[in-house]
A and B are shown apart, each in its own frame.
Chain A
Amino acid sequence: MLAFLRKNQVLLSSGFCLLLSLYILTAAARGHLKQDPVGPILLWLMRPLQIAAQAATGWIKEIDQRYATVAGFRTENDRLRKRIQELEVERNKLLEAQATNQHLQQLLEFRSHLPSGSITASIIGNSASSWFQSCLLDKGSADGIRKGMAVVTPLGVVGQVVSTTSRSAKVLLITDANSGVDVLVQRTRARGIVSGSLENVTIMKYVKRSEDIQEGDRLITSGLDGVFPKGLMVGTAVKVRKQSLGLFQYVEVMPAVSSAQIEEVLVVGGEPSQAKN
């Protein structure tokens, strides 16, 4: 018996892991997995590393941006190039400071229009898989963030908190195929659900063929999903097609917020109410 176990230990342990993962999947899908014992520890371990790596990523982006800016002046003489580089470095610093200031002011002003208890958080990590559109925030349940809270910026809706640990929170972006935001067409008040798809496009579903919707129409949150306050910008309709068959129109949406370009977000708490957008 012992010899059999030893001989087939890899096969048996693989089978055990497969069964364990299926058990976890089933429990998580049915909502029976109330507490994940390992996840918070892992996130706790990763958090400082992710913060450091995110800072380095920002640095790389800045270098890349600076290089692109300077690249246009290659043909000019050395003195001018050096001078331009110096000015560019200084300018970037000033612009960064100004942009940060402006951004924080916008956040503060925007926060005053949201339900009380809104929390400012920074994005410290992105999805580790191409299959999911999510990001990690540097604040968690200890800061008052709870599952189901809306994540927004002054530009519009970012996503929804799907899980938290004490010091971090996972956000499912509206561009993820599993997400759904109840929206209204601002011009005609037609309703639909904005969701991501695996084809890397964001679409508005369930828009009846009879509804008037045109390219360029702005989509705002309806507030009916109980997650996002009413009136927040979600995106713009960029492609509208009435298919030959079917009850609904095909509407492709350009999200108002690109997750790649945001650093700070607001996590909206309290009861959803009307936001001034």
Chain B
Amino acid sequence: MKLSLLFFAVSMLLVLLQTTFLHLLPLGPVVPDLILVLCVYWGLYYPNVAAVLGSFALGYSVDVVSSPILGLNAFAMSLVFLIVYLSSRSIWLHNPLISAIVVFLASLVKGAALVLVWAVFLSMEGLWTGAARYIIMEALVAAFLAPFVFGLLRRGQSYLEQIRVTTE
């Protein structure tokens, strides 16, 4: 229960960060996709139904606050979660480098999913050439930040675990 509340609070915080403070970073048009990092974290370490719904809800939140059409990011995040979950069965090493690589690949999957769905529902000229730059930049930024976000989430969890042990 406490863990779910922690993840809910973190989700709200990440959506808030992505709509406000992260725009202050000198990264040009790229906004670090911490929401994707959280979905990957869930896919790797908490593959359960709540995490599936959480990934969908996070994508939907991004759609509500910024996407011109609902469902784009909800689809992409759900897909990312599913792929990370399926591949997590084969990932035995858990260190910062591996997490960064997984996030990088997940970001590429998300970008490709967005472009594909975009091409189907919102036809646009020069979509692929413009998108390629975004996908790679976003993936690099997300991969760079992933070890830090993973570390913070693990700390939050172990703090909750300590509280649980002391109260018992």
A residues at B contact (CB < 8 Å): 9-11, 13-15, 17-18, 20-29, 33, 36, 38-39, 42-43, 45-46, 49-50, 53-54, 56-57, 60-61, 125-132, 134, 136, 162, 170, 172, 176-178, 197-200, 260
Number of interface residues of B (CB under 8 A): 58
Residue in B12, B62, B68 whose Cβ sees the most chain A Cβ within 10 Å? B68
Select A21's contact among B35, B64, B71, beta carbons within 8 Å: B71
- Name the prevailing secondary structure of the A interface residues: helix
In the complex, B92 has a CB within 8 A of chain A: no
A193 vs B68: C-alpha distance when bound (angstroms): 19
Contact B69 A28 (CB under 8 A): yes
Instruction: Kindly identify which residue among B47, B68, B72, B129 contacts A134, using a CB–CB cutoff of 8 Å.
Output: B68
Hey, which bits of chain B sit against chain A, CB under 8 A?
12, 15-16, 18-21, 23-24, 28-31, 33, 35, 47-49, 51-53, 55-56, 59-62, 64-75, 78-79, 81-82, 85, 114, 117, 121-122, 124, 126-127, 129-131, 133-134, 137-138
A11-B85, A128-B15, A128-B65 are known; give 11 further A-B pairs, CB within 8 A: A21-B74, A23-B71, A24-B70, A25-B69, A25-B75, A36-B70, A128-B66, A130-B138, A178-B122, A197-B126, A199-B133
Tell me the number of A-to-B contacts counted with CB atoms below 8 Å.
170
What residue in chain B is nearest A29 (Cβ atoms)? Answer: B121
A42 and B8 CA atoms in complex are apart in Å by 13
